[in-house]
């Protein structure tokens, strides 16, 4: 089980592909405040950090048209959730935050996340709210024109899973996108045993 253990984390950023990979990344992007508080919109209505009190929350930022990192990471997260006992699963949740609110409506996000696991919620917000949130938690993204992409653009973004503890505090560790489902489930079990 390998973790990035610095508060300042080098964040892999590419066209849905981390430019840097491996489990021993060093620091590169600093969270502005580390405050992960949010109000986002899901298919079932507003989603706030307070709804996850008492649980560990694994947050992933991406977009539904992402051709590789987003579906692979969510599939690994889903498989890791499937490895947990019922009691462990009740103490953890996943949140997929779309960085493409112009396309990824709450309905599209609900359909997309339903392909993965029932404990993964899809949500988004206005670009202004998203920009504030990503700055606070140290996530980066950039929309880039790409004539070969299905929508004519791609979004380069941080590819790590962020961890928010039971008290709503962003941890200074991230799970790299290269972590296997086994490693992710071991990390989750380690968190639950602390």
56 φ/ψ angles, rounded to the nearest 5 degrees:
-85, 135
Domain 13-192: CATH class, spelled out: alpha beta
pTM of the model: 0.83
How distant is the alpha carbon of residue 92 from its chain centre? 13
**Tens-digit pLDDT profile for residues 49-86:** 999 999 999 999 999 999 899 999 999 999 999 999 99
What percentage of the chain carries pLDDT values higher than 70? 82
pLDDT at residue number 36: 76
pLDDT grade, residue 29 (50/70/90)? very low
Percent of the chain with pLDDT over 90: 75
DSSP bridge pairs for 29: 9
| CA distance linking residue 97 with residue 118, whole number of Å | 15
**Residue 47's closest CA among 127, 136, 141, 120?**
120
CB 98 within 8 A of CB 124: yes
- The DSSP secondary-structure symbol of 4 reads B
162-183: pLDDT as tens digits = 999 999 999 988 999 899 999 9
Contact 144, 154 (CB under 8 A): yes
């Amino acid at each position: 089980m390998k973790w990035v253990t610095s508060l300042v984390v080098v964040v892999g950023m590419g066209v849905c592909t981390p430019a840097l990979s491996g489990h021993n990344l060093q620091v590169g992007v600093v969270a502005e405040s580390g405050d992960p508080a949010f109000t986002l919109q899901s298919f079932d209505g507003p989603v706030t950090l307070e709804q996850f009190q008492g649980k560990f929350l694994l947050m992933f930022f991406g977009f539904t048209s992402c051709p590789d990192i987003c579906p692979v990471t969510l599939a690994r997260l889903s498989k890791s959730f499937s490895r947990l006992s019922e009691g462990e699963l009740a103490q953890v949740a996943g949140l997929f935050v779309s960085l493409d609110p112009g396309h990824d409506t709450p309905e599209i996000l609900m359909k997309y996340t339903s392909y993965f696991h029932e404990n993964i919620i899809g949500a988004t917000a206005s670009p202004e709210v998203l920009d504030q949130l990503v700055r606070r938690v140290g996530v980066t993204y950039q929309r880039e024109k790409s004539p070969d992409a299905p929508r004519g653009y791609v979004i380069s973004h941080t590819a790590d899973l962020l961890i928010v503890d039971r008290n709503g505090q962003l941890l200074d560790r991230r799970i790299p996108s290269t972590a296997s489902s086994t490693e992710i489930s071991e990390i989750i079990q380690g968190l639950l045993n602390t």
